[in-house]
């Protein structure tokens, strides 16, 4: 799985989870052009960003050969703090997802900075906390081609989509 496919998979799964939690997405963004401004005025590149009526979900995706380190978690936490400060009335749910897991210390820091640390090893396993709603899914036969994921991304009403 490529980095881009991993981001698309995470966006697709998080969007489905938001719908299941009765929070239809207003917009979904992922990839290099996905930016969310912070209070500092800096536009942060966020791998997956999903806005619903009640909250903003942001995810950093790491499809690496090794575990994610403390440095990467702290960098993402700083981005999340800036984004939260920009709109304090909008709860920001932050997750860092990886295929390989985390170095020691990431769970403690993630808890302190309210950044979920999740492992998504394959398209067939998925566990992600979205606010207080937890779901686990099995995506048998998930299409990982860019074309397949793009077709699956928007709901039937066409109101949400990748930016």
- pLDDT band of 18, cuts 50, 70, 90: low
- In this prediction, residue 32 carries a pLDDT of 83
Q: Across the beta sheet with 115-119, what order do the strands follow?
A: 27-30, 48-51, 56-62, 92-98, 115-119
More confident residue, 133 or 97: 97
In this predicted structure, what is the pLDDT of residue 2?
76
Residue 19 lies in a domain: yes
For the residues 144-162, what does the mean pLDDT come to?
33
Q: Are 48 and 30 in contact (CB under 8 A)?
A: yes
**For the chain, what is the domain count?**
1
pLDDT at 92 over 50: yes
What would the mean pLDDT of 18-28 be, rounded to a whole number?
Answer: 75
The answer to whether residue 37 sits within a structural domain is yes
Boundaries of domain holding 23? 3-147
Residue 78 has a CB neighbour count (10 Å cut-off) of: 13
Residue 153 in any domain: the answer is: no
pLDDT tens per residue across span 33-63? 899 999 999 999 998 898 988 899 998 988 8
Share of the chain above pLDDT 70, in %: 70
pLDDT at position 124 is 57
Tell me what pLDDT residue 122 has: 63
CATH number at residue 89: 3.40.1350.10
Q: Tokens 């709860």 belong to which residue?
A: 91
- pTM score of the predicted model: 0.72
């Amino acid at each position: 799985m490529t980095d881009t496919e991993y981001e698309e998979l995470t966006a697709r799964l998080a969007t489905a989870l938001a719908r299941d939690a009765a929070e239809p997405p207003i917009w979904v963004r992922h990839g290099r052009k996905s930016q969310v401004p912070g209070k500092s005025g800096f536009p942060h590149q966020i791998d997956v960003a999903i806005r619903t009526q009640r909250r903003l979900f942001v995810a950093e995706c790491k499809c690496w050969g090794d575990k994610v380190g403390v440095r990467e978690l702290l960098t993402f936490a700083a981005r999340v703090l800036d984004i939260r400060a920009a709109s304090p009335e909008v709860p920001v749910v932050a997750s860092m997802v990886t295929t390989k897991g985390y170095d020691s210390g990431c769970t403690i820091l993630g808890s302190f900075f309210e950044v979920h640390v999740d492992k998504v090893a394959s398209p067939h396993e998925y566990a992600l906390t979205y606010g207080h709603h937890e779901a686990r899914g099995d995506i048998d036969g998930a299409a990982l081609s860019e074309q397949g994921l793009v077709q699956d991304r928007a709901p039937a009403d066409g109101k949400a989509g990748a930016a």
